Amino acid sequence: MSMIAAFYGGKSILITGATGFMGKVLMEKLFRTSPDLKVIYILVRPKAGQTLQQRVFQILNSKLFEKVKEVCPNVHEKIRAIYADLNQNDFGISKEDMQELLSCTNIIFHCAATVRFDDTLRHAVQLNVTATQQLLLMASQMPKLEAFIHISTAFSNCNLKHIDEVIYPCPVEPKKIIDSLEWLDDAIIDEITPKLIGDRPNTYTYTKALGEMVVQQESGNMNIAIIRPSIVGATWQEPFPFDDTYLSPSYYLRSGLIFCAGKGFLRAIKATPMAVADLIPVDTVVNLTLAVGWYTAVHRPKSTLVYHCTSGNFNPCNWGKMGFQILATFEKIPLERAFRRPYADFTTNNFTTQYRNAVSHRAPAIIYDFYLRLTGRKPRMTKLMNRLLRTVSMMEYFVNQSWEWSTYNTEMLMSELSPEDQRVFNFDVRQLNWLEYIENYVLGVKKYLLKEDMAGIPEAKQHLKRLRNIHYLFNTALFLIAWRLLIARSQMARNVWFFIVSFCYKFLSYFRASSTLKV
Ligand SMILES: CCCCCCCCCCCCCCCCCCCC(=O)SCCNC(=O)CCNC(=O)[C@H](O)C(C)(C)COP(=O)(O)OP(=O)(O)OC[C@H]1O[C@@H](n2cnc3c(N)ncnc32)[C@H](O)[C@@H]1OP(=O)(O)O
Ligand SMILES: NC(=O)C1=CN([C@@H]2O[C@H](COP(=O)(O)OP(=O)(O)OC[C@H]3O[C@@H](n4cnc5c(N)ncnc54)[C@H](OP(=O)(O)O)[C@@H]3O)[C@@H](O)[C@H]2O)C=CC1
């Protein structure tokens, strides 16, 4: 019997960010392994014209929850969606709901955040720092609270090369930042943002570091733990390999890029092939999170423990290997109607990157838009390409260096688990087979995101052959035009040309004469 699963039985659990990438997988695992839990409160806001109930309905009816419905048929009765907007004071939660949350909650998993790299400092602080502070204040008034688990990121201290499982101080106190944002106007905030974030690449990593400081400062006598996952990717094993049925900004930077590589939109990136690609499957992160929730509540460590949830030190994979495997999979199972043949050119040089962007990305987009215009359609490729290149430039920081995360606490926790818990809540990434994982990822993009049928593979392969022929034809035509222009202008080029032509002529004459002799 799993001790962790039993621990969550009968518990009232509060999850923020339950509609997000990680939150959904966390909820799914909780229901699947502890169907006798009492209730999961989720703090949700209406979004994209959908009410809270519609959002919950959509989640429960997604493929992700298929297995849950078998083991927990009354799952819809056990989810209690509470209106909450983390940007508002007291999250805009009604008095009755707040009363219920305060008096019943046993465990909190705080997943909500803005994960966008391009968010303004004001918004990122509001969500990743102020909201965390408010939630801790709420938690401190919960008499039945057993553990508060805060999800941070392994990149909160990405300005360091070696990162320990400790909370590092930031030069400016979070409280001072929160206070000053109240009276500073947006233009001034934009101006001081680069100075504040210092050697971090974006507001996301900076505000996640501030969030950790807030957790430390406001922990009081609560049992708190922090989890720092690296780059969270699709599921590895559970509930089934690869799930990406979620709409979230993380999608754009994972499956979105794989999609662009498969379609041939993205053919070159500035990335260091030997740098570690510290991807971690979302089910691994969720398993560790649930194990940490149990350990923190039951063992009540004296201080706030930080757990790194990374793959690099256990089972490293580098960007070169990842790119190669993505391409190898697209060779076997190509996407339908690709724009160009998939190709991955990794370069670390700025000039080559600029050149590649111009020749491999922008020029084909412009030519294609010209074709669309000619055929009376709306051009769209250049806009798409600019957006893609902007995204790729934002990830350059993360794909051109490696970090070293210590994992003492994570390893300690692993050793504390019973063999059954190690199996049910497996977070040992040493068992991960990267080639298989990446292949499933690519397959998932094709099957679940693009909803492409495997029966279309022969046609997709034919299409790639046509693209290759067009590519050869185009390059030959380009070469001949360039050569023709050169011959018209340079005597030396003409001499070389005559030399080649006469050489070929002599060779052919010799070949014809010798074959006549044989006959
Ligand atoms: C040469 C080829 C080589 C092969 C390529 C290899 C690819 C390898 C894949 C591995 C990924 C590598 C990751 C790099 C390192 C990241 C390090 C991360 C560290 C962290 O802690 S990350 C924390 C999480 N944060 C993120 O992951 C990034 C967050 N995302 C963003 O900040 C923004 O998305 C971004 C990147 C700034 C782009 O912004 P924008 O251009 O504004 O686009 P949107 O996000 O608004 O979305 C675009 C568009 O797509 C729609 N969308 C989103 N999800 C889905 C979905 N699941 N299905 C369908 N459509 C989706 C979204 O609604 C938008 O549509 P619109 O109609 O509104 O335009
Ligand atoms: N994805 C990754 O690669 C990594 C993620 N992390 C951390 O993991 C956690 C979860 O990330 P992930 O699931 O990817 O993020 P998502 O963007 O997928 O989900 C964010 C969640 O926060 C909610 N949220 C955002 N703003 C508000 C608001 N104003 N009020 C109420 N809810 C709000 C979203 O709700 P809504 O659906 O309404 O927008 C959504 O449920 C975050 O703390 C992140 O920092 C750490 C490392 C890597």
Query: Can you give 239-278 as a three-state secondary structure string?
Result: CCCCCCCCCCHHHHHCHHHHHHHHHCCCCEEECCCCCECC
Instruction: Give residue limits of the domains in the chain.
Output: 3-240+277-315+405-432, 460-518
Q: pLDDT tens digits, residue range 170-180?
A: 999 999 999 99
Alpha carbons 381 and 39: distance in angstroms, whole number: 47
The answer on pLDDT for 78 being more than 90 is yes
Which tokens hold the place of 365? 């987009």
**Ligand 2 geometric centre to CA of 114 (Å):** 6
Enumerate residues 6+ apart whose C-beta is below 8 A from 131.
Answer: 16, 86, 87, 91, 112
Which is the closest atom of ligand 2 to the Cα of 110?
A: 43
Closest residue CA from atom 59 of ligand 1: 247
How far is 488 from 475, CA to CA, in rounded Å?
Answer: 20
Q: Which residue has the higher pLDDT, 513 or 79?
A: 79
Percentage of the chain with pLDDT > 70? 97
Give 156 Cα–ligand 2 centroid separation in angstroms: 15
* Ligand 2 centroid from CA 24, angstroms: 10
Q: With bands split at pLDDT 50, 70 and 90, how would you rate the model's confidence at 63?
A: confident
Partners of 307 in the β-ladder: 227
Confidence of residue 246 (pLDDT cuts 50, 70, 90): low
Q: pLDDT by residue (tens digit) across 116-138?
A: 999 999 999 999 999 999 999 99
Res 274 pLDDT > 70: yes
- H-assigned helices in 277-380: 282-299, 319-332, 350-356, 363-374
Name the percent of the chain lying above pLDDT 90: 86
Does residue 482 sit in helix, strand or coil? Answer: helix
The predicted pLDDT at position 372 comes to 96
Task: Starting from the CA of residue 151, give the closest ligand.
Answer: 2
Ligand located closest to 115 CA: 1
- Per the CB < 8 A criterion, the answer to whether 382 and 365 are in contact is yes
The radius of gyration of the chain's CA atoms, rounded to the nearest angstrom, is 28
Question: By mean pLDDT, which of 121-130, 185-194, 303-312, 446-455 is the weakest?
Answer: 446-455
Q: Does 252 score more than 90 pLDDT? A: no
CATH fold of the domain at 3-240+277-315+405-432: Rossmann fold (3.40.50)
Question: Residue 226: nearest ligand to its CA?
Answer: 2
Q: Identify the residues whose C-beta falls under 6 Å from ligand 1.
A: 115-118, 153, 155, 231, 247, 249-254, 257-258, 261, 266-269, 323, 326, 344, 387, 391, 394-395, 398-399
Is the confidence at residue 247, as pLDDT, over 50? no
Average pLDDT, the chain: 94
Query: Ligand nearest 24 Cα, by number?
Result: 2
Round to whole Å and give the CA distance between 509 and 512: 5
pLDDT for 245 equals 54
436, amino acid identity = E
* Probe residue for ligand 1, chosen from 252, 257, 276 as the CB with the greatest number of ligand atoms within 8 Å: 252
162/154 Cα distance (integer angstroms): 11
DSSP class of 314:
T
> Considering every ligand atom, which ligand is closest to the CA of 158?
1
Q: Which ligand is nearest to the CA of 114?
A: 2
Angle at 285 between CA 283 and CA 288, to 5 degrees: 110
Using a 6 Å cutoff on CB, does residue 292 contact ligand 2?
A: no
Nearest CA to ligand 2 atom 29: 86
Distance of CA 187 from the midpoint of ligand 1 (Å): 26
Cβ neighbors of 218 (< 8 A, separation 6 or more) are 133, 136, 137, 140
pLDDT at 105 over 90: yes
Across 418-430, average pLDDT: 98
Does residue 45 have its Cβ closer than 6 Å to ligand 2? Answer: yes
The pTM (predicted TM-score) of the whole model is 0.93
Residue 249, ligand 2, Cβ within 6 A = yes
Cis omega (within 30 of 0) for bond into 194: no
Residues with Cβ within 8 Å of residue 492, at least 6 apart in sequence: none
447 vs 311, higher pLDDT: 311
Provide the pLDDT for residue 250. Answer: 64
CA distance 99 to 97: 5
**pLDDT at site 21:** 92
Is pLDDT at 357 greater than 60 in this prediction?
Answer: yes
Pocket test for ligand 1, best of 111, 151, 250, 253 (most atoms within 8 A of CB): 253
Atom of ligand 2 nearest to the CA of 250: 1
Using the mean position of ligand 2's atoms as its centre, give its distance from the Cα of residue 151 in Å: 10
Q: Quick check: CB of 196 below 6 Å from ligand 2?
A: no
Q: Specify whether the CB–CB gap between 227 and 292 falls below 8 A.
A: yes
Q: Cβ of 176: how many Cβ atoms within 10 Å?
A: 9
pLDDT at 511 over 80: no
Kindly give the number of the ligand 2 atom that is closest to the alpha carbon of 17: 41
How many angstroms does the Cα of residue 56 sit away from the middle of ligand 2?
A: 16
Confidence label for 248 from pLDDT (cuts 50, 70 and 90):
low
CA of 366 to the centre of ligand 1 (A): 23
Per-residue model confidence (pLDDT) at position 193: 97
Nearest alpha carbon to residue 440 among 283, 326, 324: 326
Six-digit token string for 57: 């309905």
Which residue has its alpha carbon closest to ligand 2 atom 36? 19
376 by DSSP, 3-state: which?
coil
